[in-house]
């Protein structure tokens, strides 16, 4: 049986029993979208397929640097960090081209997700609750994720030795859509495409972006649940591939003030369950925009300011949101307009969609996609109408205050915490936990003195 044919626990058991591997690898998402995981011995893994396994819930109680949150209810010293229940997702099975076991057999990898009480704050389970809402409304949701990432001739050791300064980018200068660059570095591009094909996260388009060593990859469209899994896998294993080649990849929203930020755009569409037709396309309407698509886009637009923390999840995310750097500042929409937060892309029954351009590459794909789909579905359910369409350069225009997006992580966390709609869509437990983790991130930042502060104030003030 091919690993991507695995659909059930019984299928997974049969595949593992036919394998010579002594251990199987599993991974799951923490709050920040970092993959955490472990190897499970073959017999332990087979048992876990049937009944789940225990995973310390500290994974949901610490930050990117494994520092413990002091402001969350779900877990902490007050709970003594007990184990949480985790279930393995059989249909997520993949081979890892970057890793082999006995006899050169490629490692088997499975995604997992939190279960029991931890499901309320688990990013993957959050998305699946939103998709249940879509199902109840009679829609199948589809998505495609695009990521920009910078590449460096560095290692994890060298960047630390340099203090993250004077880093050598993979290639010099600006050279967007460069055939020269991709030809010279064709071996890495070949490896990247092969990795993504083997792991069933095929790249539909891959090219250099403007900036030294920056690449943009568009992952092919799929059902929303699978699209989020693919985005999650992509970010981890691109970094692994780069490091195996003596390189590094970063998905930071903005690694240098001298260069553009890195986006994580989300393309979304809905199809009618009964007919299989696009719910977004209506050939009789201007730009092919159906009433359902208008309501969906209105929902995303209306709740962008309240859900901003779910799209822009780090301190660094807000460094990208400045005028003139291809990142929107207000909850606006336009037809094929890349200066607005939402870009309506006219097409056909197959291609009509909305692109949510606000997100950065550092976002947890499960959480960002939950925000977009949840808000859009709520717009359909409540019959919301979008604000007037923007034509021309949105950066040069003024909009009503209600469309203004939060410009700090702290403000975004407060908007999310105060949002009754967020609580309706995502649950009190998730909103409280996620908002608290973003407040923690802001407080951690404020404890530190930046290079900018030293250069500006040390001598002069």
Could you tell me if 110 and 133 lie in one domain?
A: no
Task: Residue 108: give its domain's CATH number.
Answer: 3.10.20.70
Q: Determine the structural domain holding residue 40 and report its residue range.
A: 3-120
208 in a structural domain: yes
Residues in the chain: 461
Could you tell me if 209 and 104 lie in one domain?
A: no
Q: How far is it, in rounded angstroms, from Cα 275 to Cα 262?
A: 38
104 in a structural domain: yes
The pLDDT, as a whole number, for residue 322 is 76
Domain boundary among 69, 86, 120: 120
The pLDDT, as a whole number, for residue 327 is 74
Could you tell me if 254 and 171 lie in one domain?
A: yes
The pLDDT, as a whole number, for residue 330 is 94
Q: How far is it, in rounded angstroms, from Cα 198 to Cα 344?
A: 32
pTM score over 0.95: yes
The pLDDT, as a whole number, for residue 19 is 96
200 in a structural domain: yes
Q: How far does Cα 327 stand from its chain's mean position?
A: 16
Residue 282 phi, psi dihedral angles, 5° rounding: -140, 105
Domain count across the chain: 2
The pLDDT, as a whole number, for residue 325 is 66
Q: How far is it, in rounded angstroms, from Cα 79 to Cα 76?
A: 5
262 in a structural domain: yes
The pLDDT, as a whole number, for residue 260 is 84
337 in a structural domain: yes
461 in a structural domain: no
Could you tell me if 73 and 49 lie in one domain?
A: yes
Domain boundary among 95, 120, 145: 120
- The maximal CA–CA distance of the chain, rounded, in angstroms, is 70
pLDDT tens for each residue of the chain, 461 residues long: 899 999 999 999 999 999 999 999 999 999 999 999 999 999 999 999 999 999 999 999 999 999 999 999 999 999 999 999 999 999 999 999 999 988 899 999 999 999 999 999 999 999 999 999 999 999 999 999 999 999 999 999 999 999 999 999 999 999 999 999 999 999 999 999 999 999 999 999 999 999 999 999 999 999 999 999 999 999 999 999 999 999 999 999 999 988 888 999 999 999 999 999 999 999 999 999 999 999 999 999 999 999 999 999 999 999 988 766 667 889 999 999 999 999 999 999 999 999 999 999 999 999 999 999 999 999 999 999 999 999 999 888 889 999 999 999 999 999 999 999 999 999 999 999 999 999 999 999 999 999 989 999 989 99
Could you tell me if 99 and 155 lie in one domain?
A: no
Domain boundary among 63, 97, 120: 120
Could you tell me if 38 and 133 lie in one domain?
A: no
Angle between helices 291-311 and 428-446 (to 10 degrees): 40
92 in a structural domain: yes
Task: Residue 245: give its domain's CATH number.
Answer: 3.30.590.10
Cβ–Cβ contacts within 10 Å for residue 236, how many?
16
Could you tell me if 142 and 98 lie in one domain?
A: no
Q: Which two tokens stand for residue 244?
A: 């195996």
Would you say 110 and 32 are in contact if contact means Cβ atoms under 8 Å apart?
no
The pLDDT, as a whole number, for residue 326 is 66
Burial of 86 (0-12, 13-18, 19+ CB in 10 A): buried
Angle between helices 224-244 and 365-382 (to 10 degrees): 160
The pLDDT, as a whole number, for residue 202 is 98
Cβ–Cβ contacts within 10 Å for residue 165, how many?
7
Could you tell me if 192 and 295 lie in one domain?
A: yes
Could you tell me if 393 and 450 lie in one domain?
A: yes
Could you tell me if 138 and 187 lie in one domain?
A: yes
The pLDDT, as a whole number, for residue 324 is 63
320 in a structural domain: yes
Could you tell me if 376 and 394 lie in one domain?
A: yes
Could you tell me if 47 and 185 lie in one domain?
A: no
């Amino acid at each position: 049986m091919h690993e991507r044919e695995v659909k059930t626990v019984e299928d997974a058991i049969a595949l593992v029993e036919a394998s010579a591997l002594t251990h199987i690898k599993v991974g799951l998402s923490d709050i920040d979208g970092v993959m955490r995981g472990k190897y499970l011995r073959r017999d332990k893994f087979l048992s876990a397929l049937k009944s789940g396994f225990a995973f310390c819930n500290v994974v949901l109680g610490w930050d990117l640097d494994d520092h413990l949150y002091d402001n969350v209810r779900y877990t902490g010293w007050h709970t003594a960090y007990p184990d949480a229940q985790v279930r393995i997702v059989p249909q997520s099975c993949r081979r890892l081209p970057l890793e082999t076991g006995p006899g050169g057999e490629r490692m088997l990898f499975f995604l997992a997700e939190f279960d029991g009480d931890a499901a309320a704050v688990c990013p993957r389970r959050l998305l699946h609750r939103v998709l249940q809402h879509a199902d109840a409304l009679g829609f199948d949701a589809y998505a495609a994720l695009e990521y920009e990432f910078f590449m460096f001739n560095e290692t994890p050791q060298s960047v630390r030795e340099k203090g993250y300064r004077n880093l050598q980018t993979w290639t010099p200068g600006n050279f967007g859509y460069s055939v020269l660059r991709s030809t010279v570095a064709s071996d890495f591009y070949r490896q990247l495409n092969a990795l993504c094909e083997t792991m069933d996260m095929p790249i539909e388009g891959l090219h250099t972006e403007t900036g030294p060593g920056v690449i943009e990859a568009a992952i092919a469209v799929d059902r929303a649940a699978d699209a989020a899994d693919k985005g999650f896998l992509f970010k981890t294993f691109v970094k692994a591939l780069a490091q195996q080649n003596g390189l590094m990849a970063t998905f930071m929203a903005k690694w240098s003030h001298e260069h553009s930020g890195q986006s994580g755009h989300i393309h979304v569409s809905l199809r009618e369950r009964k007919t299989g037709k696009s719910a977004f396309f209506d050939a009789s309407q201007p730009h092919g925009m159906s009433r359902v698509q208008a309501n969906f886009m209105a929902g995303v637009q209306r709740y962008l300011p309240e859900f901003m923390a779910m799209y822009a999840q780090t301190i660094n995310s807000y460094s990208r949101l400045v005028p003139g750097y291809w990142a929107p500042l207000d909850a606006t929409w336009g037809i094929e307009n890349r200066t607005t937060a939402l870009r309506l892309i006219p097409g056909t029954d197959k291609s009509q969609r909305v692109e949510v351009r606000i997100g950065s590459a550092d976002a947890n794909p499960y959480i960002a996609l939950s925000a977009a789909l949840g808000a859009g579905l709520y717009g359909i359910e409540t019959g919301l109408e979008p604000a007037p369409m923007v034509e021309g350069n949105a950066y040069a225009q003024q909009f009503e205050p209600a469309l203004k997006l939060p410009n700090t992580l702290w403000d975004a966390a407060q908007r999310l915490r105060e949002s009754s709609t967020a609580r309706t869509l995502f649950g009190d437990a998730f909103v409280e936990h996620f908002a608290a983790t973003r407040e923690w991130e802001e407080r951690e930042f404020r404890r530190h003195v930046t290079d900018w502060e030293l250069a500006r104030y040390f001598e002069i003030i």
